[in-house]
Amino acid sequence: MVSSMIRRDSLNQKRLAFTLVALMIFVPWSAMSTSDINFDEDESPYYSNGIWGAGGSNDTGWIDFVANGANPENGTYAYGDLNLNFAPGAIIDNLTFEVEVDGANGYWVTEPQITLLDTQTPILDWRDLGDLGRQN
């Protein structure tokens, strides 16, 4: 009776060892067999084909930011996106920006707001301060 229990325990330990070894071998391979992730680097806003130098500066000059979709009848605001690519680990300092609204041809900006996309950190919040590009 005791010898059969010892054999059974030995057999269980062998099965357990074999199962653990099989898991260690097959689990990493199973991750490589899934091909349902289609990542296109050319269309991703998080990937850039640029070659980044070791240092330097970048003066973008004037950027024309166009916001579309405003409808004064139902109170819909205009939205626009601006994506700037920076080198990984870049330190951004001495950043200045200027907002210019021409006001010609009846164009103006009502209560402009500029925020960072991911954190919704306000960069410019002109709510309740009137319009830009129009004199009342």
Domain coordinates in residue numbering, the chain: 62-135
Beta-carbon contacts of 60 under 8 Å, excluding residues fewer than 6 positions away, are 84
Tens of pLDDT, residues 7-25: 777 888 889 999 999 888 8
Dist. CA 29–CA 31, nearest whole Å? 5
pTM reported for the whole predicted model = 0.44
Check whether 33 has a pLDDT greater than 70. no
> How far is residue 70 CA from its own chain's centroid?
25
Task: Note the pLDDT of residue 49.
Answer: 60
Q: Give 59's Cβ-side CA count (13 Å radius).
A: 1
Tens of pLDDT, residues 36-81: 566 565 666 555 566 666 666 667 777 777 888 888 899 888 888 8
Amino acid at position 133, single letter? G
Band of pLDDT at residue 126, cut at 50, 70 and 90: confident
